[in-house]
Amino acid sequence: PAAAAPARFATPADALRTVYGYESFRGDQAEIIDQVVSGGDAVVLMPTGGGKSVCYQIPALVREGTGLVVSPLIALMHDQVDALRANGVNAAYLNSTQSAAERADVERAYLAGELDLVYVAPERLSSPATTRLLQRGALSVIAIDEAHCVSQWGHDFRPDYLALGDLGERFPGVPRMALTATATRATHKELTERLHLDGPGGTPAAKHFVASFDRPNIQYRIVPKVDPRKQLVSFIRSMPEGAAGIVYALSRKSVEQTATYLAAQGFDALPYHAGLPAEVRAANQARFLREGGVVMVATIAFGMGIDKPDVRFVAHIDLPKSVEGYYQETGRAGRDGEPSVAWMAYGLGDVVQQRRLIDQSPGDRTFKMRMGQHLDAMLALCETVECRRQNLLNYFGQESGPCGNCDTCLEKPDTFDGLVPAQKLLSTIVRLKRERNQAFGAGHLIDILRGSSNDRIRQQKHDGLATYGIGTDLSDQDWRSVVRQLLARGILVAQGDYGTLAPGEAAGGVLKGETPVPLRKDTMGRVSGGGRARK
């Protein structure tokens, strides 16, 4: 017969002191742990570096039985388990990288009540054999890490997470926790429902703990891309001498080229991406962690689980695919609380490239639409004339005022009056709908406004519209920036699989001329403030 692992500590505070060497809990940690130790469920939203691990590890040490941790990051399991063992915790993992003998060993230890914690990959849990094994032993708590992965609308959906909804039924009486560092309002609601933490069938609902997502020591700066390499170099030179930082690029090629370029400029720059041999990656990562002043040029493959407190800057030379990704990546700066900078250069080329990647991706229409929405939210952050931090926090469902520590707060961006272009665009959309019951995406609408003559215009007889050719004062690129900015403010909405444009909630006031529409100048091609005509 199986045995339950004994409780290792009498109180959470004992565990915190003995295992981790900390004197006091941070933020909501103590309350979260109390909730779970007393048998309740919890949903924990806490930014990266906030201290989520302690929240599920300590209940596992204080309650009788083994703590089950569901984690999608197999690469990290090994490190976490090693770190726990080094601190005297009996931890192990079950995943696909193990041999049958290794797995059998862990299973035996579990049933003998020798394990405080066992980490499993989500796909393991969908196997009935694993469920039966875990049921024969005794669990103290079930922690679902990276819980946002259950959200089909999130940026990181993993189908295996959908099967985690019935863990409450499979393991009755075992408290459950869902933890994540990236959840918008919508994702928060969705993960609560999908993981059955909303009290189905009259059971007590989970308690929710939402920590502030603000990272006040990080200064956000986003600049229009002109000459990205030169801009990057002058940005890094503006940092204190010997500052360690991460430069994120989208492609392996761009990582290699940028690292080479920075090295030629005298920086201690190293590349990191999944295409490099494992030993090169390990060596570069080790240098970044150990030495001061290394600039790691990397794809997003770099950073998960990297706990380097004194990263002074994170730079993006390509547009991240989502605000969640941006927040997670920039969050690797300044974990020590010292002033740090999140810098990004972005341009129209990024937007075009990402739209193409989305179009060419193998996903279905829903998937593409979702990716498009993530991109739009990212663009809204780039093009806002308001506080960046406010925009970012609002995205994660947190209200705040202007921060005074981002580029738009420190220096109000140059704006021009976009009321007339907005009205021209809206009236074209409204007329097409009213007169012909048609709707189009940005490209075709801009062609109409700029009086372009192409097959589609001629076939549709759109050269006969009253608004045909009334927007020649702006270039194609300028118009695209106008569209993005209007989308970002809810004056326009993109609908359906093809992203056809329609008036948004805020369109009424614009059509009546009541709502001012200040638009950023710097994100446009070379817009002329007064609307001077040019070819």
Closest to 325 measured CA to CA, from 203, 181, 211, 191: 181
Can residue 49 be called a binding residue for ligand ADP (CB under 6 A)? yes
> Judging by DSSP bridges, how do beta strands 244-248 and 295-298 pair with one another?
parallel
Strand partners, 492: 503
Q: Counting contacts by CB under 6 A, is residue 29 touching ligand ADP?
A: yes
In 3D space, the residue among 270, 234, 397, 274 whose CA is nearest the CA of residue 324 turns out to be: 397
Binding pattern to ligand ADP, positions 291-310, x when CB under 6 A?
Answer: ----------------x---
Give the whole-angstrom CA distance, residue 381 versus residue 402: 14
Tell me, rounded to whole angstroms, the distance of Cα 263 from its chain centroid: 29
The two structure tokens encoding residue 395: 């995205």
Whether 144 and 36 have beta carbons less than 8 Å apart is answered as no
Residue 51 is a binding residue for ligand ADP (CB under 6 A): yes
Residue 409 interaction partner, one of Zn ion, ligand ADP, none, beta carbon < 5-8 Å per kind: Zn ion
| Contact present, 482 and 519 (Cβ < 8 Å) | yes
Residue 72 interacting with ligand ADP (CB under 6 A): no
> Coil, helix or strand for 83?
helix
Minimum distance of ligand ADP from residue 341's CB (angstroms): 20
Cα 514 to chain centroid distance, Å, stands at: 36
Structure tokens at 347: 């341009």
Residue 340 to residue 317: CA distance in whole angstroms: 17
51 binds, among Zn ion, ligand ADP, none (CB under 5 to 8 A by kind): ligand ADP
Token pair in block for residue 29 = 């940690």
Q: Contact between 54 and ligand ADP (CB under 6 A)?
A: yes
Give the interface size with ligand ADP as a residue count (CB under 6 A).
14
Question: Minimum CB separation from Zn ion for residue 403, in Å?
Answer: 3
Binding mask 384-423 for Zn ion (x = CB under 5 A): ---x-x-------------x--x--x--------------
- In whole angstroms, what is the distance from residue 504 CA to residue 491 CA? 5
Among 25, 272, 396, 479, binds ligand ADP (CB under 6 A): 25
Is residue 50 near ligand ADP by the rule CB under 6 A? yes
| Residue 498 interacts with ligand ADP (CB under 6 A): yes or no | no
Which one, 226 or 304, has the nearer CB to ligand ADP? Answer: 304
- Asked if residue 52 binds ligand ADP (CB under 6 A), the reply is yes
Stretch of residues binding ligand ADP (CB under 6 A), selected from 25-33, 279-287, 293-301, 485-493: 25-33
**Position among 2, 3, 18, 26 found at the interface with ligand ADP (CB under 6 A):** 26
Please name the amino acid found at residue 414. Answer: D
116: its two tokens: 């405080």
> For binding to Zn ion (CB under 5 A), which residues are involved?
387, 389, 403, 406, 409
> For binding to ligand ADP (CB under 6 A), which residues are involved?
20, 22, 25-26, 29, 46, 48-54, 307
